[in-house]
Structure 1
């Protein structure tokens, strides 16, 4: 057993070797140190290093370990890494990938490189990879495994077990086995446990059970969420005629969910998701992921400036009103973001559907009113004691109004985005903050004008 301290020191030496002078003579040092480092640490170093440094490390790894590490890298990073590996190394890696993982990689490579690598595959592997590549990137068919073991409904359990034993190394999973009829039409599924337990003469048709399946053209996130909601270990994938074309497994689903969640988190905070680890991303790539959203939000924030300009004369009459602007805009933005995040999550897991729009509006209206009442009373008391009761009343009523408005809009926007076919996360935090800032200021000065009798 490798000592933890020794392996940590070896990992540090390996990282130093990778980030040092890059030339062929460094490979000997890297190879020596890499033998003392656990595979999990090797995977981390590959993921956080530049593609050129990762390529150096790949060249000294055993084939099986290199393939295991490569499979866990993001497809975009895999594509850059391929460009820094020698042709024989590339061929070995590509051949060892599952067809769905290979299709993801080819989708990131230049067409000429992908075509050349495709030609190096066997006819069977080339056919399966082409089948997966035929689906859009947003479709679940792009992520299924076409290597699926389907049992015919008229087989006996004994005959089915013979087929499973003969082909056990091919399919990605055999724990859940689809059952097909004539023309490979999906009839249902049987579990390997039940297949082993029943009498050998039992006909598969007599033990098949209904299955939860998905069409190959279904949206990948919706299919993945359904997979998780039913706690499946595998899900058959069919074409439009219900013919079995592949199977979806847990590792594919987790990859999809991780990617979708990373995208939602990034966009809800006003940036684009990175297609590789933070440390392996260049400074320019980090800037590109953030600058577009900053420009959009900066332009949209002009609305807030214009509102302040319109009500500039009110501020001149009661200067103390300016002190509460950060409090009110911040409260509105935070309230809207809370509602948007909650509804976006509910949409993602299927708890809320588009037709629930009015239910969501009614719920968030009441939630916002209750939150606004609590904050409004607090604001009324504190501001009233310090700046006078008329100012306290303005602050209290504004907090009530802003919270009610922000919660309602925050719950509404993700559903509208879903209806329009856009990403709900895009419509959430950044845009809601800007919208609530401008609208909240209009409410604030309208209430102040009425209560204080300004003109």
Structure 2
């Protein structure tokens, strides 16, 4: 998909020359995946032209497979009648995600175009917190009851095959819709039709609808579940998170973490089809935050201006020391953020993590400090070597401890750990490292 086909090139040429009948004819030569790729990687106007020329049935299929950001852009560019029909064809969880992408006035118009039952389901999902699994679950599922026979359960599965998000995992509920177990389609097919569901159902792992969607998706992935049931506070079944939806949530979360670790917000569309203004907006906020926080470093240098004046050689080592501290902190933060994501550590482990990271930092500091001491002593003198070696030891210990604890603190106060990532920790360690450096220099050199 990276290189355009001959047909796709001809489509681009026909659109540029406004030969719309030729575009419609050429689109019939492309598969659905190719059309989705073409729309996703096209500027807004060209994407809208391609979409409008699709037959109605195919347009619905293509629209469902598009990314949320692209759907939002198309919604704003299509006529009301087309929008209402497309929106109604989407699964409820996709509708809710799309409503977060469009302006409030458009969202209200989309909701009003649904029939009463579909509007009710969508509105209920909108009532859950924005990043909760309740906003990403599917309320369309098939279920069984413990007193049912296998034959009855299979009939229910067949009846729901077109409606349910997945039929491979069937939740089992009691008469009050409380979740009591789960049974797979394989188990239903492998047992006699007269077997009771209660005899073959297994204990079930579930999450409440208000839990974080990323945590729920990771649980689903780690446990290898076909579907993760979602319940309310009274353990009544309200939806399921299918394995493919869980994978999509994790991919989105990874893209967000990678972008924020680099000091920007994730792009919602492919890079080449994203406007220059949107790319700039994704970066400018972080640049402003980091520029303001970098003033701390300037203030520290101003405080120790006299110290630098007394011994200019100290200034030569500032890039080495600040770079080492920032890199050490970033390494620790990345390691712990990853450990948090896969469940290796919890927020309650912060004391253990800090103790572990301070020891790692001391070990790294001893290695780097010894090298710094030797080089500075040879090039300058013994006293400056002591300053550099001791500072590297202290900075590495401090940066590793701070970098390791920041993601856990962020998680504890319900902030995305990626926010406390590379750029922020680097800036913090720069300012703190300079304080340590000049304090040691004044003590050792007597200036």
Contact 2:171 2:181 in 1 (8 A): yes
- The alignment's TM-score, normalised by the length of structure 1, stands at 0.92
Query: By how many angstroms is 1:6 displaced?
Result: 11
2:229 is the counterpart of 1:258: no
**Separation in structure 2 between the aligned mates of residue 339 and residue 6 of structure 1, nearest angstrom:** 39
Could you tell me which of 10, 13, 16 is aligned with 2:10?
A: 13
Contact 1:377 1:396 in 2 (8 A): yes
Contact 2:143 2:156 in 1 (8 A): no
Q: Gapped runs of 5+ residues in structure 2?
A: none
Map of 1:446 onto structure 2? 439
Residues 50-98 of structure 1: CA distance to partner in whole angstroms, max 9, x if unpaired?
Answer: 3322111112234454334323433343122112123443233223211
Q: Gapped runs of 5+ residues in structure 1?
A: none
Residues 2-58 of structure 1: CA distance to partner in whole angstroms, max 9, x if unpaired?
Answer: xx999722223334445x36xxx4322322333344443322221122332211111
Map of 1:275 onto structure 2? 268
Could you tell me which of 347, 361, 377 is aligned with 2:340?
A: 347
**Partner SS for 1:245:** strand
2:43 is the counterpart of 1:46: no
Contact 1:380 1:392 in 2 (8 A): yes
Contact 1:339 1:410 in 2 (8 A): yes
**Separation in structure 2 between the aligned mates of residue 281 and residue 5 of structure 1, nearest angstrom:** 16
Aligned residues: 447
Map of 1:332 onto structure 2? 325
What is the root-mean-square deviation of aligned Cα atoms in Å?
2.2
**Separation in structure 2 between the aligned mates of residue 300 and residue 125 of structure 1, nearest angstrom:** 48
**Partner SS for 1:83:** helix
Residues 242-279 of structure 1: CA distance to partner in whole angstroms, max 9, x if unpaired?
Answer: 11111111222122222222222222222222333322
Contact 1:236 1:248 in 2 (8 A): yes
Query: By how many angstroms is 1:306 displaced?
Result: 1.5
Residues 150-175 of structure 1: CA distance to partner in whole angstroms, max 9, x if unpaired?
Answer: 10111101111122222221101110
Could you tell me which of 100, 103, 111 is aligned with 1:107?
A: 100
**Separation in structure 2 between the aligned mates of residue 252 and residue 158 of structure 1, nearest angstrom:** 29
2:207 is the counterpart of 1:176: no
**Separation in structure 2 between the aligned mates of residue 69 and residue 204 of structure 1, nearest angstrom:** 38
Map of 2:408 onto structure 1? 415
Could you tell me which of 173, 177, 180 is aligned with 1:187?
A: 180
**Partner SS for 1:293:** helix
**Separation in structure 1 between the aligned mates of residue 124 and residue 78 of structure 2, nearest angstrom:** 27
Contact 1:52 1:81 in 2 (8 A): no
Contact 2:141 2:160 in 1 (8 A): no
Map of 1:244 onto structure 2? 237
Contact 2:229 2:237 in 1 (8 A): yes
Map of 2:200 onto structure 1? 207
After TM superposition, the runs of 4+ consecutive aligned structure 1 residues lying more than 6 A away are 4-7
Contact 1:7 1:38 in 2 (8 A): no
**Partner SS for 1:382:** helix
Map of 1:71 onto structure 2? 64
**Separation in structure 2 between the aligned mates of residue 16 and residue 407 of structure 1, nearest angstrom:** 55
Pairing 1:27-426 to 2, within 5 Å after superposition: 27-426=20-419
**Separation in structure 2 between the aligned mates of residue 112 and residue 9 of structure 1, nearest angstrom:** 41
Map of 1:434 onto structure 2? 427
Query: By how many angstroms is 1:445 displaced?
Result: 1.5
